[in-house]
Amino acid sequence: MQNGNPVLKSLWAALEREPRINLHRWPIQIGLTDDSVLVMEGDVGSIAAKKIALELAGATPSVRGVVDRLHVAPSEPRGDGAILDSLTALLRDARELKNCALRVIRKGETLTLQEAGGEDASGDLLVAVKDGVVTLDGWVISLSHKRLAGVLAWWVPGCRDVVDALEVLPPEQDNDDEVSDALSLVLEMDPMIPHPDQIRVRTRNFVVTLEGLAGSEAEKNRAEQDAWCLFAVDRVINQLAVGR
């Protein structure tokens, strides 16, 4: 950090006040370019920590942009090939993506794993993994499809980041209801959420609030993690009670 820079000092203080970032365990390197663009790099402990750090950076006065080089430290180190295999299995099993073409880049070669259903195709996904970072390219027919593919990528052990570059064709206007619908779908699909019907999802200005019941602290935390995984969600309020 450039010594004495007031912009960096302000951001550093904000990062230190956020317990989910935990700079003492997960130190973040921050710098400021000559044209007032913040550069953030390093490992963080969770998707929430990554998104919160980026949001704080973007809200820092006098900053014109943020370069994101933050990665989530994986719960278990895995090679790119193993991550790619796990992700393609999840994508092929997802009912909502059954009618999408699925292609992967492996060792520099593009391989087709699944053909789409002609004019009724729901998308064409191209998946690559490099250094634990998953990139999703191609197109899908809805924002829900885009968000679902991104969440499935985050679910894969070893994943350090997800670049969700899927285009929605035809383009859709994003809104709070779409976010809530996508999260409800994800919670229904998540094998770690046995009773998704007991969880209520509200979204306002892309801030997700979870209400209702979770069967355990692990289930409560998992539901929150699923919300953080969603594309364009930068804040989650977890008001789930634990119990039945």
Domain 6-72 has CATH 3.40.1440: no
Q: pLDDT digits over 98-123, tens only?
A: 999 999 999 999 999 999 877 789 99
Fold classification of 176-242 (topology level): Histidine-containing Protein; Chain: A; (3.30.1340)
Domain regions of the chain by residue span: 6-72, 80-168, 176-242
- Residue 2: pLDDT above 60? no
Among the ranges given (26-35, 78-87, 117-126, 168-177), the one the predictor scored with the smallest mean pLDDT: 117-126
Asked if domains 6-72 and 176-242 share a fold, the reply is yes
Residue keyed to tokens 């994943």: 159
If you average pLDDT over residues 146-167, what whole number do you get? 97
Quote the distance between the C-alpha of residue 179 and its chain's center: 13
The predicted pLDDT at position 244 comes to: 65
Q: What is the pLDDT of residue 30?
A: 95
